[in-house]
Structure 1
């Protein structure tokens, strides 16, 4: 009986394989000593002590998170509310592509935890997007070039303040935003209609300007041809006089 008990306990305490799936990395938590700092399991099999050690997986591929009121599996929070430089309030759906740094997962788990989206990412994205939006006019959110500039500045500000940690004496980001994408801004209907009318008027004015330039070029061309014809007639007249009896 004693031998059987010893064998059972030996089998129970044999290391078991922990599988880390492709696209993920795992930190290791020890029931007695806590998180094993400096140990991050990459895709593949690793042996852990049953009942003592367990692997906690994190997605390290790019994850797209949405700030929207729609029901999807990628929702981080509801739409972002902001105020443009001209004082107009609006809300907008924002999407971000986030990637965790696998080299710093142990620090991420220790300092922030698995709920990093709600505790770190969501409030930072909201804050920085509002900061950027306050620099742009309402109509800028309907212009492609200005929208791209908003997205660029938002990405830069967010990445500058995402959590970092010390690794080998260097300040290393625990995560990074690969891109920011804005959907259509939801301004009050009256303002949106006014902006759209202004845009149409601008397009018409631009078209009229182009047409005026074309007409001017045609006029200049006609004048040049007329002067050329006049000069040709004058030269022919002189030639006739010189060739006369």
Structure 2
């Protein structure tokens, strides 16, 4: 009787082992590095959004469903045709780098599912680019306000994705392409504006130089007036006498003074 009971337990154990092995893939699982997992509990309240499973070995009830998300930084490249403020078609190439917000993977799955990139990220990027560029003209986008356009696209994309549990790392606008004739027209206009600015600069420089010369001339004239008003015959005669005396002291000069000149100054003879 004991042997029979032992055999029955052994059979049950073997059967249980085979069942466990068969269900092992439904019970045991491993979350790899760069992944997050969430569980859908069929008999326990549905999707468990709050408990995000990190990397490592785990187990679950075989009737529950595991969803694994790659949360490493991802990137997409998009080329799209958009309309400017005046309805002109513009081609834009953008690159977006992003990843799911780790603690919100459950909410992301509930709203958009595994295909969130095509269901959420790409449409939001396209929408932001179209909305922003629709507020500017082609000329502004291509030249004068390009930095402002790029900044607005980045800001609005980050806000819209963040509201849907995606963190945007960066958005790069690789190129903005206009129809060739429009591009040439804008470049010609910019060239003419630069030439006009250069011409205006030259005019202003010439005006400044003319003003400088006028002020210098007025100063020189005022100085001459002051000097002329201070010169008298007595002062000139005194300065002449002083200069004559200094010259007479030169060792290379023989001084002979005979009378005086018409201007009242001594006459010096015998210079070597």
Report the TM-score, using the length of structure 2 for normalisation: 0.69
Aligned to 1:150: 149
1:18 equivalent among 21, 30, 39: 30
Deviation at 1:141, TM superposition (A): 2.1
**Residue 209 in 1 paired to residue 200 in 2?**
yes
CA distance in 1: counterparts of 2:116 and 2:29, whole angstroms: 27
CA distance in 2: counterparts of 1:119 and 1:53, whole angstroms: 22
Cα RMSD of the aligned pairs, angstroms, is: 2.9
CA change 1:229–1:25 in 2 (3 A) is farther
1:235 equivalent among 221, 226, 229: 226
Aligned to 1:101: 101
Q: Deviations over 1:170-227 (max 9, x none)?
A: xxx4114344332332222111111111111122222222333333322222222222
CA change 1:202–1:111 in 2 (3 A) is same
Q: Which has the higher helix share?
A: 2
CA distance in 2: counterparts of 1:118 and 1:10, whole angstroms: 38
Deviation at 1:53, TM superposition (A): 5.4
Deviation at 1:55, TM superposition (A): 5.0
Deviation at 1:87, TM superposition (A): 2.7
**Residue 200 in 1 paired to residue 191 in 2?**
yes
Conservation of the 8 A alpha-carbon contact between 1:66 and 1:93: yes
SS in 2 for 1:184: strand
**Residue 39 in 1 paired to residue 51 in 2?**
yes
Report the TM-score, using the length of structure 1 for normalisation: 0.75
Deviation at 1:13, TM superposition (A): 6.2
Give structure 1 stretches of 5+ with no counterpart.
68-78, 165-172
CA distance in 2: counterparts of 1:55 and 1:120, whole angstroms: 18
CA change 1:10–1:124 in 2 (3 A) is closer
CA distance in 2: counterparts of 1:122 and 1:12, whole angstroms: 40
Aligned to 2:70: 58
2:16 equivalent among 3, 6, 9: 6
**Residue 225 in 1 paired to residue 224 in 2?**
no
CA change 1:80–1:38 in 2 (3 A) is same
CA distance in 2: counterparts of 1:12 and 1:147, whole angstroms: 61
Q: Deviations over 1:147-175 (max 9, x none)?
A: 121122223333444474xxxxxxxx411
Conservation of the 8 A alpha-carbon contact between 1:162 and 1:176: yes
The structure number with the bigger radius of gyration is 2
CA distance in 1: counterparts of 2:131 and 2:50, whole angstroms: 36
Alignment of 1:38-187 (within 5 A): 38-42=50-54, 44-49=55-60, 54=66, 56-61=68-73, 63-67=74-78, 79-143=79-143, 146-162=145-161, 164=163, 173-187=164-178
Worse overlay, 24-33 or 118-127: 24-33
